Structure 1
Amino acid sequence: MKAYHQAANYLAERLNGRRPRIAITLGSGLGALADDIKDPLNIPYADIPGFPQSTVHGHKGQLVFGELGGQFVACMQGRFHVYEGHKPESLQIPIRALRLLGVELLVLTNAAGSIHEAMGPGSLMLIEDHINFSGVNPLLGGNDDDIGPRFPDMTEAYNKHQGVVMQTAAGELGIELFRGTYLWALGPSFETPAEIRLYRQWGADAVGMSTVPETIVARHCGMDVVAVSSITNLCAGMTGQALTHEETLREGAKAAEKLSRLIKRWLEAQ
């Protein structure tokens, strides 16, 4: 309890009474959306008590507060991954701190690989469900019933109503928004072709190394979640080409403009 209360108290002091209702987490190559925030207050993660530190290239590592799409939002410009060495339970701190600040709705974005050729690089996919193939859970350890139940329900991990609002916004902008199931693999190595064949049989549509732990923590503490994947590549074994993080950043940047327009239109509909 102490860590996220300390973080929330520090942020509340910096915000001078303003409280965001919506928070947005930006994935690899997608940090440019934060540049569109009006009158931004930038707070490096390193300044926030108890916050983990982002170490991955393409993740700037700061919280940005300000106006976007007519809403006062908190934007996480860079996220944390278990493969960086963070303990799974440490991922609770940012989400719970934002919840204490008043955030009710969490928007998650990520860079992901596609299992379907028709959903190629540059595509966007609304996440309707997920598969946790990481072998870990961010709620490991003791549970505080004042935050959430010991065994939280994940039947509707992603808010259906907000998913419809996101689809409507995409239609208004003429953006094709695929829908599907996201699989969380621990990383940092990319998947093998054999693993991708297995994931396809399980019903996964896109694969990545994030998002699911944030969703679990957010749902546990009462936040609604809506999530969109930016497809940066076809998965291992589908093209004959090797996968690289540089490709992820490059293709993520290409999709950033489209995703930025989508999220801003979605925010305007709130």
Structure 2
Amino acid sequence: MRNTEKLQTGCLLTQISVPKWRLSVVQDLADWLTCWTTRKCFLTTKSLAFLTALVTYPVRVFFLLGIETLIVTNAAGGLNPKFKVGDIMLIKDHINMPGFAGQHPLCGRNDEKFGVRFPCMSDAYDRDFARIARETAQELGCDSFLQEGVYCMLAGPSYETIAECRVLQMLGADAVGMSTVPEVVVARHCRMRVFGLSLITNKVVTDYNSTEKANHEEVLETTRMRTEVLQKLVSSFVAKM
């Protein structure tokens, strides 16, 4: 069962019915949306990105439909040594590694109907939403594994090397994944409010003597383990918005 099928306040939409929508290329990770029309809120799962212009296309569609809030979720590797597999991290900020290399979703001619040429990103993730999420997690009894931190995006599709993980830790990243950031940047460009969650599905490898290896099966297993909790957390959070 998909995570949003139990979110009874909204309707499930598949991207297959939307023209020019890119299909997921990640096995066992389908793309879908949940729309709460009365609250103008969308939830989108994340999948391995194509070019940033393609993967951010839906966000501009949301904006043109009058959507004011974007909820983003992802599976991420834990960089913070205090994080455990199965923890849920509130995203308080991000590091856009592809952006450092010129792969930025706002490159090119700016369309003023969406936003300004140089949008601010120091407030990318809504702090009021984070407060509501913490209160909700406490009420649901899942605050013991609720974390908060900085999410770093790498392009993928390979998992990170040991050296890369060590660099990311030095930069202050708490979790690493292959998605989310381009959509958030475009959403903020469109003046949408953003709330983000990362499910820590595996611990990154930072020791050359370790025999552990990151793998997709572990990601899927952790996701299945936390599905019900995420359903309750997101649905309760949306009800309070």
TM-score by length of 1: 0.80
Contact 1:38 1:66 in 2 (8 A): no
What is the letter of the counterpart of residue 4 of structure 2?
A
Report what 1:185 is aligned to: 154
C-alpha distance in 2 between matches for 1:156 and 1:163:
12
Report what 2:212 is aligned to: 241
Contact 1:90 1:138 in 2 (8 A): no
Report what 1:91 is aligned to: 55
Q: How does 1:146-225 map to 2 (within 5 A)?
A: 146-175=113-142, 176=144, 177-225=146-194
C-alpha distance in 1 between matches for 2:89 and 2:151:
9
Report what 2:24 is aligned to: 54
Percent of aligned positions that are identical: 35
C-alpha distance in 1 between matches for 2:9 and 2:82:
40
C-alpha distance in 2 between matches for 1:115 and 1:87:
26
| CA-CA distance at 1:142 after TM superposition | 1.5
| CA-CA distance at 1:73 after TM superposition | 5.0
Report what 2:228 is aligned to: 257
Report what 1:14 is aligned to: none
Report what 2:93 is aligned to: 129
| CA-CA distance at 1:133 after TM superposition | 1.1
C-alpha distance in 1 between matches for 2:87 and 2:55:
28
What is the letter of the counterpart of residue 134 of structure 2?
Q
Contact 2:46 2:180 in 1 (8 A): no
Residue by residue, what CA displacement relative to the aligned partner does 1:148-189 show, whole Å, maximum 9, x if unpaired? Answer: 111111011101111111111111112131111111011000
C-alpha distance in 1 between matches for 2:36 and 2:150:
31
Out of 106-115 and 231-240, give the one that drifted further.
231-240
Please give the root-mean-square deviation of Cα atoms over the aligned residues, in Å: 2.1
| CA-CA distance at 1:124 after TM superposition | 0.6
Contact 2:48 2:157 in 1 (8 A): no
| CA-CA distance at 1:40 after TM superposition | 6.4
1:143 is aligned to 2:110: yes
C-alpha distance in 2 between matches for 1:43 and 1:269:
22
Contact 1:89 1:140 in 2 (8 A): no
Task: Provide the aligned length of Structure 1 versus Structure 2.
Answer: 234
C-alpha distance in 2 between matches for 1:172 and 1:253:
22
What is the letter of the counterpart of residue 171 of structure 2?
W
Contact 1:138 1:213 in 2 (8 A): yes
1:109 is aligned to 2:90: no
| CA-CA distance at 1:38 after TM superposition | 3.1
Out of 35-44 and 147-156, give the one that drifted further.
35-44
| CA-CA distance at 1:41 after TM superposition | 4.7
CA 102–236 in structure 1, closer or farther in 2 if over 3 Å, else same: same
C-alpha distance in 2 between matches for 1:58 and 1:179:
27
Contact 1:105 1:224 in 2 (8 A): yes
| CA-CA distance at 1:93 after TM superposition | 1.5
C-alpha distance in 2 between matches for 1:39 and 1:171:
22
The runs of 5 or more residues in structure 2 that have no matched partner are none
What is the letter of the counterpart of residue 212 of structure 2?
Q
The runs of 5 or more residues in structure 1 that have no matched partner are 1-30
Report what 1:268 is aligned to: 239
C-alpha distance in 2 between matches for 1:178 and 1:42:
28
C-alpha distance in 2 between matches for 1:52 and 1:46:
8
Q: How does 1:35-46 map to 2 (within 5 A)?
A: 35-38=5-8, 41-46=11-16
| CA-CA distance at 1:60 after TM superposition | 2.1
